[in-house]
Structure 1
Amino acid sequence: MSTVFTSLDDAEFNLLFREFRQSVFRLETLQHYQVSYEKDEFARFLTGESRGEFPGISGWISGTVIPARAARKSMHRVHVVEEPLSDYVRFECAWAYEHTVPAGEDVRVITVERGQWPDNLPRAEYWLFDSELLVAMNYDEDGTFRFAEVITNAAEVALARQWRDTAMELSIPYREFAERYDGLFVEQAR
């Protein structure tokens, strides 16, 4: 029986982000996520308010990204982004990535036209810890988190490593992606 996490706040799930030894990789493929820790901030973003305090991202940076960087661990994330950008992706760029990248998270982006998808890359959501521990993230169609499941099957873990390598090869650094939008994300991050 595999381990299943039904909450993003699950202590055992969050322990994985403190105990990984060398690297963690995240593949994101949704154009919208509905998670409780950013609901208020996303609503503020949509009304044009300034960023202000964002506890979810501040906690991620201070509790995960900075300690990992200090321990010489690497954190990689690739987001497959459809263009034109969804409101949520603009929010994620301006209010999250603009802050996590300088803190040490290697965020990368693959852009595709809406309705297209990169070859050899699934619409899968997962975390891969130390290239060994796979945690499949499961969301409803509207981006609501359902559950995360630890996958121990060696073939599935190997496939996730292959997808990671493909995603890293196809992606560009976040900064290069953001430059295409002529400062849009920086201005909104203030």
Structure 2
Amino acid sequence: MSTLIGLKEFGELFKTFEHSAWRLETRRGYASDRERETYREFVETGTVTWDLDNDWCRNMRAQTTAGKRVGRVRIVDNPPTTGQLYLLDNAKRNSATGEDMRNLWRADAERLQLPAEDFWIFDSRFIALLHFDEADTLLHVELIREPAKVMRYAQARDAALHHSSPFETFAALVAATQG
């Protein structure tokens, strides 16, 4: 059984989770990123001065300071897309708030048969499956609570974490291959 929720309700999940929130990011880019001033700054300069005092950062610091775990594995093409390079730079901001930021090459994700869709898993109890259109715009979120499906995504999380690299290590590897 699944339920569609709006983006506002989805945002509330990041304030109400009890012990863990983890995401697999699989897309080559996101429309929401391309709309940001920081994306333009990144395209022009190759780096961004990140705001560590916005709503997201304040909430993530509060959650991780309270002992909750937040993390992500971002799937990256070889060579990385501009959107993926932007997110690799953005990992500095996420990490500064206490998030565990990691990366995995797409070829490895495919070998591991990880899901092709983006999702968050909250408290190992339910999945927030993110639905995008062809232009990479988030349309809605599907909450999945069926234990067998949650377990499938939890197994994907465990495999992604095991085979991924911390973003700093991954960023150094990407920089070395691009230079």
> TM-score, normalized by length of structure 1?
0.82
User: Which of these residues, 26, 31, 45, is aligned with residue 28 of structure 2?
Assistant: 31
Letter in 2 for 1:74: R
Equivalent in the alignment of 1:186: none
Among 123, 132, 143, the residue aligned to 1:130: 123
Q: 1:173 to 1:26 in 2, by over 3 A?
A: same
CA shift in 2, pair 1:49/1:157, >3 Å: closer
User: Where does residue 187 of structure 1 map in the other structure?
Assistant: none
Pick closer, same or farther for the CA change 1:79–1:54 going to 2, 3 Å. same
- 1:143-162 to 2 correspondences below 5 Å: 143-162=136-155
Which residue in the other structure is 2:15 paired with?
Answer: 18
Written as runs of structure 1 = structure 2, the 5 A alignment for 1:98-177 is: 98-113=92-107, 117-177=110-170
What is the CA RMSD across the aligned residues, in angstroms? 2.6
Q: Which residue of 2 aligns with 1:188?
A: none
2: distance between equivalents of 1:83 and 1:129? Answer: 30
The 1:113/1:158 distance shift into structure 2, 3 A limit, reads closer
Q: How many residues align?
A: 177
1:178 aligns with 2:174: no
Identity %: 27
Match of 1:87 in 2: 82
Of 65, 68, 77, the match for 1:73: 68
Q: Judge which range, 148-157 or 129-138, deviates more.
A: 148-157
Aligned partner of 1:5 in structure 2 is 5
The amino acid across from 2:162 in the alignment is E
Q: Give the deviation of 1:49 after TM superposition.
A: 7.6
CA distance in 2, matches of 1:50, 1:99: 12
Please list the CA deviations of residues 62-114 of structure 1 after superposition, one character each: whole Å capped at 9, or x if unmatched: 12x101111100001011111101011111122x2111112210011101359
1:109 and 1:177 in contact (8 A); partners too: yes
The 3 A distance-change label for structure 1 pair 49 and 30 is closer
**1:50 shift after superposition:** 6.0
Question: Secondary structure at 1:180's aligned position in 2?
Answer: helix
Gaps (5+ residues) in structure 2? none
Equivalence for 2:40 = 43
Alpha-carbon distance in 2 for matches of 1:82, 1:50: 19
Give the C-alpha shift of residue 119 in structure 1: 2.2
